[in-house]
């Protein structure tokens, strides 16, 4: 089974990344779904989405969890009982979870694509990045910023939060592989640690 990468963030927090290379039948083996999630799986029209759904269940096994342990709230955010925290992401042939027994967490995987240039103005003050002359570096930077904001949005877990106006990511250098982020909403500010890793044209960002 292709567990692609494990990142030990701390004694209480880990990231697990899966590269989907198996058939749907292989992924179904040794996985037990609740009736609700079995119906959800069958309703997915894309085989890639089905594979992503199942591979995440394999990742849950890495921390001793099952499909039945996931509880989704009315906003679609996954929760665990007993003061444990989880966040889930899927992009093309990669899936990932971040799991913590200490604090709220968020994770996002994105494929590095030119498409992000078209939407950059919707999620960040684009002028900050126009000094980056290298095209590939600009794509990488914007993808990290988007992933950071997506991760923070997942931690917050409710609607009405706007990437452009409520979520801020401090500038960073690629080699540092980390930054900080803030959620400023309803007169309150919360600060989070953010880290990122890049592989095979993808970016994984996680926050806690």
Mark whether 52 and 132 lie in a shared domain. no
Mark whether 32 and 117 lie in a shared domain. no
Mark whether 96 and 15 lie in a shared domain. yes
**Amino acid 158: pLDDT:** 82
How far apart CA 178 and CA 197 sit, in angstroms, is 9
**What are the per-10-residue average pLDDT scores of the chain (208 residues)?**
92 98 94 93 95 96 95 91 95 98 97 95 82 90 97 91 94 96 94 98 98
Total tally of structural domains belonging to the chain: 2
Mark whether 89 and 113 lie in a shared domain. no
**Amino acid 129: pLDDT:** 76
Mark whether 82 and 123 lie in a shared domain. no
**Amino acid 128: pLDDT:** 74
**Amino acid 159: pLDDT:** 78
Mark whether 77 and 114 lie in a shared domain. no
**Amino acid 127: pLDDT:** 75
**Amino acid 1: pLDDT:** 58
Domain that holds residue 199: 108-207
State pTM to two decimals: 0.95
Last residue of a domain, one of 77, 103, 129: 103
HSE-CB at 144 with a 13 A cutoff on CA atoms is 26
Nearest Cα to 106, choosing from 11, 194, 38? 194
Which residues touch 70 (CB under 8 Å, ≥6 apart)?
A: 60, 78, 79, 80, 86
Mark whether 17 and 87 lie in a shared domain. yes
Last residue of a domain, one of 57, 84, 103: 103
The region, left, alpha or beta by phi > 0 then psi within -120 to 50, assigned to residue 14 is beta
Nearest Cα to 2, choosing from 14, 12, 17? 17
DSSP string, 16-77: EEEE--S-HHHHHTT----HHHHHHHHH---HHHHHHHHHHHHHHHHTT--GGG-EE-TTS-
CATH for 128: 3.90.470.20
Question: Which DSSP category does 106 fall into?
Answer: E
Mark whether 15 and 72 lie in a shared domain. yes
Q: Is 4 exposed, middle or buried (0-12, 13-18, 19+ CB in 10 A)?
A: middle
Last residue of a domain, one of 58, 77, 103: 103
Mark whether 112 and 92 lie in a shared domain. no
Mark whether 121 and 195 lie in a shared domain. yes
* Tokens (6 digits) for 11: 């004694």
Cβ atoms of 104 and 77 closer than 8 Å: no
Mark whether 11 and 52 lie in a shared domain. yes
Mark whether 31 and 63 lie in a shared domain. yes
Which residues touch 59 (CB under 8 Å, ≥6 apart)?
A: 3, 16, 18, 95, 96, 97
């Amino acid at each position: 089974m292709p567990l692609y990468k494990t990142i030990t963030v701390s004694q209480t927090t880990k990231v697990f990344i899966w590269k989907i290379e198996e058939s749907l039948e292989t992924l179904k083996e040794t996985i037990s779904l609740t009736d609700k999630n079995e119906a959800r799986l069958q309703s997915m029209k894309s085989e890639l989405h089905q594979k992503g759904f199942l591979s995440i269940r394999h990742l849950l096994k890495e921390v001793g969890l099952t499909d039945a342990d996931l509880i989704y709230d009315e906003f679609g955010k996954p929760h665990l009982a007993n003061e444990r925290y989880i966040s889930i992401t899927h992009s093309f042939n990669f899936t990932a979870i971040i799991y913590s027994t200490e604090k709220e967490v968020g994770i996002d995987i994105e494929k590095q694509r030119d498409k992000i240039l078209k939407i950059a103005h919707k999620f960040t003050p684009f002028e900050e990045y126009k000094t980056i002359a290298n095209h590939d570096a600009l794509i990488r930077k914007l993808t990290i910023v988007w992933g950071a904001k997506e991760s923070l949005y997942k931690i917050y877990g409710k609607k009405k939060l706007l990437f452009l106006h409520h979520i801020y990511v401090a500038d960073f250098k690629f080699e540092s592989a980390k930054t900080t982020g803030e959620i400023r909403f309803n007169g309150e500010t919360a600060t989070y640690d953010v880290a990122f890793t890049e592989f095979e044209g993808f970016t994984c960002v996680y926050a806690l």
